[in-house]
């Protein structure tokens, strides 16, 4: 029981619940993702593109897989994995005393992106995608958010943690 109270107290006093960056960035990304998906869902037919012939288009697609349409036959499993990832990273970062700026941005983007796609999976059974860059699989704001977060994480890990370890 003491261990449970300790964890509960750590969560209540967590930086995450008070972090202005997280509570600014997370809802902006999440809401922008949901609004853009809604606008595409309501205004375009499945497969329709605007403009029709250009390298960058808005094309309405439904994705039952992960980002970039990978693993499309595992929709339910991907929903559970997405929920686990969002909860895992949130709890993990709650337990860190004071994460650096790059990690605060990382958690904001990952949780916003994961929740954006979780909402679609729960509502529709698939994720609404619409950003079409010719040769690349169609994606959405949530996918972009997760990709940017991973880029920030790896850049920080490769370039900035290395400098810290060299000193």
In a 13 Å sphere around the CA of 53, the CA atoms on its Cβ side amount to 0
Residue 41 neighbours by CB under 8 Å, 6+ apart: 60, 128
Is 129 one of the annotated active-site residues of the chain?
yes
Catalytic residue among 19, 120, 132, 143: 143
Is 143 one of the annotated active-site residues of the chain?
yes
- Bridge partners for 128 per DSSP: 62
Catalytic residue among 19, 33, 129, 132: 129
**CA separation (Å) from 102 to 98, 105, 106, 160?**
12, 5, 6, 10
Which are the catalytic amino acids?
A: 129, 143
């Amino acid at each position: 029981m003491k261990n449970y109270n300790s964890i509960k107290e750590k969560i209540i006093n967590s930086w995450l619940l008070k972090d202005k960056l997280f509570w600014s960035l997370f809802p902006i990304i999440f809401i922008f993702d949901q609004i853009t998906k809604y606008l595409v869902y309501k205004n375009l037919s499945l497969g329709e593109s605007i403009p029709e012939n250009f390298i960058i288009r808005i094309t309405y697609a439904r994705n039952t897989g992960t980002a970039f349409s990978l693993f499309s036959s595992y929709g339910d499993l991907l929903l559970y994995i997405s929920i686990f990832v969002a909860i895992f990273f949130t709890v993990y970062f709650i337990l860190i005393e004071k994460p650096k700026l790059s990690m605060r941005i990382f958690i904001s983007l990952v949780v916003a992106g994961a929740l954006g796609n979780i909402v679609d999976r729960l509502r529709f059974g698939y994720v609404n995608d619409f950003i079409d860059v010719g040769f690349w699989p169609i994606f959405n704001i949530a996918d972009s958010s997760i990709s940017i977060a991973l880029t920030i994480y790896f850049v920080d890990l490769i370039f900035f943690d290395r400098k810290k370890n060299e000193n």
